[in-house]
């Protein structure tokens, strides 16, 4: 008798085993994926009841974040604005901007009935996590560090992972993100555009001794005045102000110490 089964069938059991292996492997990857809530994934972008664009309002029009998210600096929770804020500009007989646009029909109807628009929540920490906005903003952490360039987004999406590792990454090295308080809602902020002399003058104005400021620029040198500090910093960081320069000064002089112990975030 000739060979009834073709030769390749000898490999069949092995192929099946390999295929089964891939299936098991695939499922083990997929399970945590399906059980991870959608709102903790980078890129998560639900659709909203009204096509509100941050790119228009915060980008082109240049409205400050706090015009709408008015509690963000004072409270643990950021708020989404009420219809009244929109109506100031879009309301018929008030701002009248595009008040006949179909894209605004829901906003105008909602203002008349007093029923709020049900915006879909995009960022949400699990219930067992304690998070506070004002504690971050008042320590020089910008919206941008956690939400990305919202001012360029047509529709808001997750720019950052929002995971525990992500929180801890910044808590361990806050100098990478600290900026002067007046810059926290400036999403176009670039440390290279800061005026070095004004930056150090500001620290001196808080009563910090020049020698102490010099310590974080170059521990082997000292400084007696503003001019010394500026030339020390130029030697160390170059012509333009850098994030490391700003961050390490602010960390030291504001005594920034983000918590890493479990009970700080899980109370």
Ranges within 122-181 binding ligand HEC (CB under 6 A): 122-126, 129-133, 135-137, 139, 141, 143, 145-147, 150-151, 156, 162-164, 167-168, 170-171, 174, 177
150, 64 contact by CB (below 8 A): no
Round to whole Å and give the CA distance between 40 and 142: 20
- Indicate the SS3 state at residue 181: helix
Interface positions, 53-82, toward ligand HEC (CB under 6 A): 54, 56-58, 61, 63, 65, 67-69, 72, 77-78, 80-81
Give the nearest distance from C-beta 32 to ligand HEC in angstroms: 10
190 class by beta-carbon count within 10 Å (0-12 exposed, 13-18 middle, 19+ buried): exposed
101 binds ligand HEC (CB under 6 A): yes
Closest C-alpha among 248, 247, 236, 233 to residue 196: 233
90 binds ligand HEC (CB under 6 A): yes
Q: How far is the CB of 224 from ligand HEC (least distance, A)?
A: 30
Restricting to residues 220-239, which ones interact with ligand HEC according to CB under 6 A?
none
Does the protein bind ligand HEC through residue 256 (CB under 6 A)? Answer: yes
Does residue 199 interact with ligand HEC by CB under 6 A?
no
Instruction: Examine residue 250 and tell whether it contacts ligand HEC (CB under 6 A).
Output: no
Which residues, 6+ apart, have CB-to-CB distance to 204 below 8 Å?
210, 213, 226, 229
């Amino acid at each position: 008798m000739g060979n009834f089964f073709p030769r390749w069938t000898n490999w069949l059991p092995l192929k099946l085993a390999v295929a089964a292996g891939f299936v098991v492997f695939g499922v083990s990857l997929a399970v945590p994926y399906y059980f991870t809530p959608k709102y903790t994934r980078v890129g998560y972008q639900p659709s909203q009841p009204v096509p509100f664009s941050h790119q228009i309002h915060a980008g082109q029009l240049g409205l400050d974040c706090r015009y709408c998210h008015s509690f963000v600096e004072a409270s643990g929770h950021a708020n989404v604005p009420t219809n009244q804020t929109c109506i100031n500009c879009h309301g018929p007989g008030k701002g009248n901007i595009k008040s006949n646009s179909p894209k605004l029909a829901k906003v105008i109807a909602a203002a008349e009935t007093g029923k709020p628009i049900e915006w879909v929540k995009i960022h949400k920490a699990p219930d067992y996590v304690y998070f506070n906005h004002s504690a971050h903003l008042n320590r020089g952490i910008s919206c941008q560090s956690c939400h990305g360039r919202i001012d360029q987004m047509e529709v808001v999406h997750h720019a950052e992972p929002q995971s525990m590792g992500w929180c801890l990454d910044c808590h361990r090295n806050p100098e990478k993100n600290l900026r002067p308080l007046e810059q926290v809602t400036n999403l176009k902020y670039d440390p290279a555009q800061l005026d070095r002399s004004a930056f150090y003058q500001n620290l001196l104005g808080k009563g910090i001794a020049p020698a102490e400021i010099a310590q974080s620029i170059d521990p082997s040198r000292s400084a007696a005045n503003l001019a010394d500090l500026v030339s020390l910093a130029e030697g160390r960081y170059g012509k333009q102000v850098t994030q490391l320069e700003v961050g390490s000064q602010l960390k030291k002089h504001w005594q920034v110490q983000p918590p890493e112990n479990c009970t700080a975030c899980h109370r």
